[in-house]
């Protein structure tokens, strides 16, 4: 399996995945519409002989001869996916149908980047793959949550009906270099605010939790899943260490040695209160678990953002 299509390859996760696949001597075709990704993320390998980029919006069919697809295209930050909610649904539904159709025609293996968001505001904790979730179907997050749920349904149906070789990964909060400065997700927001000496915006009282996985661990998990035989998933990929958002704010202030103060803002509607993956299945089937601690990952991410901020002034 050498010719690999990466959708959303100019985004945060996709760009790291392309880099690792190039290191593994794969032939990469990256497609992206630059909605939330950037040329900067793929700058280092844009002229690599085994890297090809096509600006393409996956809501339109795409034709290429390939052996495998990592399907990541979809905005992941709440401010990005809510900016044009209908477009987010089209990307998840029409875009995913287009990629599954391509996989069917080319007999390619396809890996769907699903999300912990399919569990909604979970009533089961930590979340196991067997839990069906608690999602508001008409809320402001539904374009993404329900979009990913339909994307999973479509992926399973192409598997059952058309024997497409599929893989479903439920990705939990992942962070690291290549997140956009204005991405809006909590790790990038806090680091940028801390480095600029601005108030750290904690939404709600900060007791809500998330589990943060460093990007290199996630990329390793995605590749292991793609390469595993006879296992479709869904499988949870994430770091099972759970932290409150207030704890994260304090950690970022400490690591950056910032003088920023914490300020409290209203909690966005339908913001999940707790989130933590049960990764027993990933350990068993993929022999995968995260290796990078939150402190190590934050330190690397802070270094990246320092350079970005310096080059943007
Ligand atoms: P990102 O926003 O940085 O990357 C998404 C990429 O997809 C961007 O480059 C964007 O321009 C591209 N894109 C969006 N709509 C497109 C379209 N219609 N056609 C072509 N390209 C399009 O987000 P990310 O964090 O890198 O997330 C990548 C994938 O992983 C997404 O599917 C996301 O839902 C999933 N995921 C990520 C996380 C996380 O914490 N990072 C958690 C759960 C799931
Ligand atoms: N959050 C916050 N301040 C910010 C951005 C986010 O307190 O500036 C909170 C947000 O309300 C949520 C958590 O951090 O509880 C994670 O938010 P993010 O948007 O990163 O991811 P998601 O909610 O999709 O897990």
Average pLDDT per consecutive 10 residues, the chain (313 residues; last block may be shorter): 94 98 97 96 94 98 97 96 97 98 98 97 96 97 98 98 98 97 95 97 97 98 97 98 98 97 96 96 98 98 94 77
Q: Whose CA is nearest to atom 11 of ligand 2?
A: 203
Query: How many Å apart are CA 104 and CA 126, to the nearest integer?
Result: 35
Residue 191 lies in a domain: no
Whole-number pLDDT of residue 310: 85
Residue 71 backbone dihedrals phi, psi, to 5 degrees: -100, 100
Domain that residue 235 falls in: 3-177+213-239+274-291
Annotation marks residue 144 as catalytic: yes
Per-residue pLDDT reduced to its tens digit, 12-32: 999 999 999 999 999 999 999
Residue 246 lies in a domain: no
Residue 207 lies in a domain: no
Task: Report how many domains make up the chain.
Answer: 1
Query: How many Å apart are CA 194 and CA 165, to the nearest integer?
Result: 45
- CATH code for the domain in which residue 37 is found: 3.40.50.720
For residue 78, the CA-to-ligand 2 centroid distance in Å is 8
Query: How many Å apart are CA 308 and CA 306, to the nearest integer?
Result: 6
Residue 196 lies in a domain: no
Which ligand sits nearest to residue 13's alpha carbon?
A: 1
Whole-number pLDDT of residue 93: 98
Whole-number pLDDT of residue 1: 65
Does the C-beta of 177 come closer than 6 Å to ligand 1? no
For the CA of 90, the nearest atom of ligand 1: 18
**Which of 77, 245, 270, 298 best tests ligand 2's pocket when mutated (most atoms within 8 Å of CB)?**
245
Find the catalytic residue in 70, 81, 119, 144: 144
Residue 201 lies in a domain: no
How many CB atoms sit inside 10 A of residue 222's CB? 25
Residue 22 lies in a domain: yes
Residue 95 lies in a domain: yes
Query: How many Å apart are CA 93 and CA 288, to the nearest integer?
Result: 29
């Amino acid at each position: 399996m050498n010719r690999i299509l990466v959708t959303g390859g100019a985004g945060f996760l996709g760009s790291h995945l392309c880099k690792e696949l190039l290191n593994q001597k794969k032939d990469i075709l990256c497609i992206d519409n630059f909605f939330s990704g950037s040329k900067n993320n793929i700058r280092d390998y844009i002229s690599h002989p085994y890297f090809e980029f096509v600006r393409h919006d996956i809501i339109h069919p795409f034709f290429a001869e390939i052996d495998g697809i990592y399907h990541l295209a979809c905005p992941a930050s709440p401010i990005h996916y809510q900016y044009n909610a209908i477009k987010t649904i089209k990307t998840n539904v029409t875009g995913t149908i287009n990629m599954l159709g391509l996989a069917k025609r080319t007999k390619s293996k396809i890996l769907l980047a699903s999300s912990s968001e399919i569990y909604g505001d979970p009533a089961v904790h930590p979340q196991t793959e067997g839990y069906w979730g608690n999602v508001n179907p008409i809320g402001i997050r539904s374009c993404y949550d329900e979009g990913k749920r339909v994307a999973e349904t479509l992926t399973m149906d192409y598997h059952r009906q058309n024997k497409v070789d599929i893989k479903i990964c439920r990705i939990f909060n992942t962070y690291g270099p290549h997140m956009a400065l204005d991405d809006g997700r909590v790790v990038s927001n806090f680091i940028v605010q801390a480095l600029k000496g601005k108030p750290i915006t904690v939404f709600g009282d900060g007791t809500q939790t998330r589990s943060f996985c460093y990007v290199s661990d996630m990329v390793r998990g995605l590749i292991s899943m793609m390469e595993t035989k006879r296992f479709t998933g869904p499988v949870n990929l994430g770091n099972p260490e759970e932290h409150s958002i207030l704890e994260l704010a304090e950690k970022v202030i400490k690591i950056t040695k910032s003088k920023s103060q914490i300020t409290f803002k209203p909690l966005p509607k339908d913001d999940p209160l707790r989130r933590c993956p049960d990764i027993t299945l990933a350990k068993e089937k993929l022999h995968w678990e995260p290796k990078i601690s939150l402190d190590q990952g934050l330190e690397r991410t802070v270094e990246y953002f320092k350079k970005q901020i310096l080059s943007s002034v």
